[in-house]
Amino acid sequence: MTKKQKKVFIRIMIAAFLMPVCYFIPVENSYLRLLVFMIPYLIIGYDILRKAVLGVVHGEVFDENFLMAAATVGAILLGEYMEGVAVMLFYQIGELFQSYAVGKSRRNISQLMDIRPDYANIEMDGEIEQVDPDEVAIGTIILIQPGEKVPIDGVVTEGRASLNTSALTGESLPREVKEGDEVISGCVNMSGVLKIRTTREFGESTVSKILELVENSSMKKSRSENFITRFARYYTPAVCYGALALAILPPVFHLILGQEAHWALWVTRALTTLVISCPCALVISIPLSFFGGIGGASAKGILVKGSNYLEALSETKYVVCDKTGTLTKGVFAVTYQEAAEGFTEEELLEAAAFAESYSNHPISKSLQEAYGREIDRSRVQDVEEISGHGVCARVDGRRVAAGSRKLMKKLDITPVEPGRTGTEVHVSVDGKYAGYILISDMVKPGAKQAVADLKRAGVKEIVMLTGDGRTVAEAVASELGVDIVKSELLPADKVDEVEHLLEKKGKKEKLAFVGDGINDAPVLSRADLGIAMGALGSDAAIEAADIVLMDDDPAKIALAMQISRKTLRIVHQNIVFALAVKFSCLFLGAVGVVGMWWAIFADVGVMILAVLNATRALTFRKK
């Protein structure tokens, strides 16, 4: 408990002890009895009365503090001292319970996302000095010892270690790193001493971006939250005016008919409806449910930028996936090559590797690795990268082109049709066809199961988009069980395909695009829901996507949908339960069937039950 919560708890205990004492004190004089009951009432309710008065002064009249103050003061003025104190006591118990539940939710999320580093180690004159990560410049060598967090993104310059990435990915499997490997902030060094050369400032590092994302997630409200906000804005004044009408109109009507007014009876009923009408259960439990859902998702390595995206995820009926890096590993290797007449396989591979030597694309890297020798880039000039087609360059004075069949056709060269499956890299030298190289990308182990999980989750169509050739694309799609495959697409073509699917879907259906977040930013932004896969250290992913999966596991997509739907079920349960009890008790209170004690249950009891239900969103077990 916080200090504030402890103080409220002590006040509750004192008031709870004084209430029966005051009730059994043999005081006949009504004024003395009022003074006796005012002691526990002011102990437990002075802060509510103060907030109610300040609300009236500042023009914010209709809130739960005003409702509680009006109802309890009215009950005391009518001589119902015990009921007035009891309403305030139970309201404070409900508020304490709510405060504790919200605090626990926040602490759980803080623990799950406890990745903010406290310091960075810099070696100076043979001694290690701890400095604030904000003060570390790009290119600085920092030291990470076993048990310490990696404070800033960088590259390992010395050492080998196992890194615990569970706070980022939700997975307990450690990641081995060695000299030359990139590491990201937020991981914990489990073994060995690492020296890292920083590649970013702390404010731009992965840990800072993730923490900012989580902290801002509550700013983007779902439709359910916006509905409750609008509902409370009109509902509270309506019930206040309704209670006033209930207190005045029936007695006046009785007087007109020449009957006894029974003012006390109708005022008591009006005060009862005020207590019943307090919308705490809805106003507190709905945001808490979404907050819990976002926290539960973050524990699984799924970062959701707002409750509106969590809600949209539950309505997703179309999932469009990029192939490379999403459904496949994105690790390419040369599996076959065939040289045309007049060229050897060695010449073919050398020409392709040199032409692609300035590119960081996985296919280019695989060609350079297959070549296996150091590439002298001074031999390469006039490099021109043609988006979606390939690369043209001058190697040793000869014009070399390496890329897709489209590139060959663009250069008026007829490529050979390979008899095997794989990503094709066709090569020409000085306008003459030199042959082709096949590069294969491995399907992720969990990709097939992930597709099956999505279909079980109610997704109508799973579409795969790729720039690869038709044969390769269809082979992968067939292996995974994907419904629709679109191949040989340029980046702009992917946007067009998503646009077409958006026109096809129903009004209440959502389309999610899943990509690696680096090359797919335009498509991620255009879809109803952009999901970035394997986004550790990727700025583009965190910026463009609405939901960020922090590892490369495609099964997290279906898991995120399950978390979303559980959260929405809890939200709808709370809305239906709270409104059903509220309106039932309001009617029964207005006609005099239920009294102040039922009103206490309708307010405090419903709020406690709704908050308890909302906290279930924090935990999730995969089905």
Q: How far apart are CA 366 and CA 9, in angstroms?
A: 65
**DSSP, residue by residue, 210-271:** HHHHHHHGGGS--HHHHHHHHHHHHHHHHHHHHHHHHHHHHHHHHHHTTS---HHHHHHHHH
* Residues in CB range of 38: below 8 A, 6 or more apart: 76
Q: Which of 322, 453, 468, 552 is catalytic?
A: 322
Looking at this protein, which amino acid is placed at residue 17?
Answer: F
Q: How far apart are CA 236 and CA 277, in angstroms?
A: 7
Can 322 be counted among the known catalytic residues?
A: yes
**DSSP, residue by residue, 77-108:** HTT-HHHHHHHHHHHHHHHHHHHHHHHHHHHH
Residue 425: name the closest of 365, 490, 474, 384 by CA: 365
Here the tokens at position 156 are: 């390992």
Region for residue 301 given its phi and psi (left: phi exceeds 0; alpha: psi -120 to 50; beta: otherwise): left
Q: How far apart are CA 170 and CA 502, in angstroms?
A: 32
Q: How far apart are CA 183 and CA 107, in angstroms?
A: 27
- Burial string for 358-385 (b: 16+ CB within 10 Å, else e) reads ebeebbbbbbbebbeeeeeeeebeebeb
Contact yes or no for 433/395 (Cβ under 8 A): no
Measured on CA atoms in the order 546, 552, 558, 564, is the torsion positive or negative?
negative
Strands (E) across 387-501 are located at 390-395, 398-403, 423-429, 432-443, 461-465, 484-486
Contact yes or no for 451/480 (Cβ under 8 A): yes
Q: How far apart are CA 589 and CA 592, in angstroms?
A: 5
Contact yes or no for 77/37 (Cβ under 8 A): no
Contact yes or no for 111/295 (Cβ under 8 A): no
Contact yes or no for 430/342 (Cβ under 8 A): no
Contact yes or no for 541/525 (Cβ under 8 A): no
The three-class DSSP label of residue 551 is coil
What residues are labeled active site? 322
